[in-house]
Amino acid sequence: ETGVTQTPRHLVMGMTNKKSLKCEQHLGHNAMYWYKQSAKKPLELMFVYSLEERVENNSVPSRFSPECPNSSHLFLHLHTLQPEDSALYLCASSQGLNPSYEQYFGPGTRLTVT
């Protein structure tokens, strides 16, 4: 058990749907992250939150909208996605933004956009 949970574990949605991915961490961490893992491509950082404030947005299209209501929960709201958005979406948390703090990853949500 990593202490970071993600739901749903897999999701199939059409391009006109609206859905949300949820991440919850039980580790008392202050920083949370969304990553995208596409097939045979390196892990891509999407968003970083520290103490519920967004500190980084790596040029992610506006059809992905993050929300961090508190330090334990992170959401990724999805709207009018494209088939190329199909990927594994990973959530992670760490004690803080200092790079010496290791990141703990959730199991991921496998997203398929049809």
Partner 1 sequence: EDKVVQSPLSLVVHEGDTVTLNCSYEVTNFRSLLWYKQEKKAPTFLFMLTSSGIEKKSGRLSSILDKKELFSILNITATQTGDSAVYLCAVALTQGGSEKLVFGKGTKLTVNP
Question: Which residue number, 38 or 82, has a Cβ lying nearer to partner 1?
Answer: 38
Tell the smallest beta-carbon distance from residue 36 to partner 1 (Å): 11
Question: Which residue number, 53 or 80, has a Cβ lying nearer to partner 1?
Answer: 53
CB neighbours of residue 13 within 10 Å: 16
Tell the smallest beta-carbon distance from residue 56 to partner 1 (Å): 7
Mapping DSSP to helix (H, G, I), strand (E, B) and coil, where does residue 93 land?
A: strand
Tell the smallest beta-carbon distance from residue 67 to partner 1 (Å): 19
CA separation (Å) from 44 to 1, 28, 39, 54, 71? 24, 24, 12, 17, 22
Q: Which residues bind partner 1 (CB under 8 A)?
A: 2, 9-10, 33, 35, 37, 40-45, 48, 56, 88, 90, 97, 99-100, 102-105, 107-108, 110
Q: How many CA atoms lie within 13 A of 17 on its CB side?
A: 12
Nearest CA among 109, 5, 94, 2 for reference residue 64: 109
- What tokens appear for 70 in the block? 């508190």
Tell the smallest beta-carbon distance from residue 89 to partner 1 (Å): 11
Question: Which residue number, 83 or 99, has a Cβ lying nearer to partner 1?
Answer: 99
